[in-house]
Amino acid sequence: MSRSRDRSRSNVFAHLRWLPRLVSVSASLLLIALPLRAQEPEQQDRMAKLDVKTRAAVELMYDSAAAEGLPTQPLRSIAYLGITRKADGRQIIAAVRRELVLLRTARNSLGRVDEQELMAAAAVLDAGAKPAQLAVFKNKQRGRSDLSAFTVWADLITRGVSGEDAYSAITRLWDDGADDATFMSLWNNVQSDILRGLNPGTALQNRIREAPGRPPTTKGPQTPEGQENARSE
């Protein structure tokens, strides 16, 4: 059961073709507008703005999360975001529930990792990666933070790179010992190429070949299909 999403990626890139681009060290100087639902800023107390049923449903989900040892902060954050966006109760409940399920699935895939990593992992699943792909990272951290890897992974898929290509690139970099800077550098390069009009998948293929580390082996990494795999433990 997949949630229909308004993927306006292709519209974004169409706009970008026609805008001049300036690069600076601290920030890009481009305004990218994604026109979305109009809303007015509110100053009042926030959770009270939810109707009773929605609030009760959402609080129950916080409790479920807490009982399972899952972080509740991301769920609260989604509720506040929904309130700011003036979403209706059902939409807020659905969004909170989705995040709860994603966190739970991320926990199942990765085991015990800290909250930030879990949230980043949930985003990877949200983007469309399979739990089995995420599970490849279980116990692989060994003191390294996978926040950058997961963030770039989720970004690539969200921008239109295929799940397989993104998984392939991220795991290859990770296994080569890439650090945070390397992942962010990959992201920056792919992003520049996309802004120049390149197809995201192509941009990734080009840039991953340049990435520091061993040249790719002849037998590339494959998605584990729930079976034994050289990577999984």
Partner 1 sequence: MSDDAADVQRVLAGDVEAYAALVDRYYDRCARFAIRMLGNRDDAEDALQATFLRAYRALNRYQERDRFSAWLYRILVNQCRSVAARRAHRERVFVREEALLLNAPDRSAVWTGEDEEFVQRVLNELDPLLREAFLLKHIEEMSYEEMSALTGVGVSALKMRVKRACDRLRERWERIQHD
Partner 2 sequence: MTDSEQHPYVEWIASEARRPVVMDPGARDRIMAAVRAEPVPVPAAAWRRLLQPRVFHMSPVGTALLAAGLVGIGVLTGVATSNDRGGRAAEHPRDVAVLPSQPPVSPPRDTLYKFVIVAPQAGKVSLVGDFNDWDVAKTPMIRSGQSGLWTVAVPLAAGRHLYAFVVDGTTWVQDPSAPIAPDDGFGHANSVKLVARGSSS
Task: State the residues that interact with partner 1 by CB under 8 A.
Answer: 1, 56, 59-60, 63-64, 67-69, 101, 104-105, 107-109, 111-112, 125, 131-132, 135
Distance CA 176, CA 198 (A): 26
Binding partner selected for residue 230 from partner 1, partner 2, none, CB under the kind-specific 5 to 8 Å limit? none
Is 134 an interacting residue with respect to partner 2 (CB under 8 A)?
Answer: no
Question: Angle at the Cα of 141 (from 138 to 146), degrees rounded to 5?
Answer: 100
Inter-CA distances, 139 with 64, 71, 118, 199, 218, Å: 26, 20, 13, 34, 25
Is 222 an interacting residue with respect to partner 2 (CB under 8 A)?
Answer: no
Q: How far is the CB of 22 from partner 1 (least distance, A)?
A: 41
Binding partner selected for residue 142 from partner 2, partner 1, none, CB under the kind-specific 5 to 8 Å limit? none
DSSP track, 187-217:
HHHHHHHHHTT--HHHHHHHHHHHSSSSPPP
In the set 1, 10, 17, 41, which binds partner 2 (CB under 8 A)? Answer: 41
Binding partner selected for residue 131 from partner 2, partner 1, none, CB under the kind-specific 5 to 8 Å limit? partner 1
Name which of 95 and 204 has its Cβ closer to partner 1. 95
Token pair of 139 as six digits: 């116990």
Name which of 129 and 195 has its Cβ closer to partner 1. 129
Stretch near partner 2 under the rule CB under 8 A, chosen from 28-36, 48-56, 104-112, 217-225: 28-36
Question: Angle at the Cα of 96 (from 56 to 105), degrees rounded to 5?
Answer: 125
Distance CA 140, CA 117 (A): 13
Instruction: Draw the binding track, 98-127, toward partner 2 (x: CB under 8 A; -: no contact).
Output: xx---------------xx--xx--x--xx
Q: How far is the CB of 226 from partner 2 (least distance, A)?
A: 24
Distance CA 107, CA 118 (A): 7
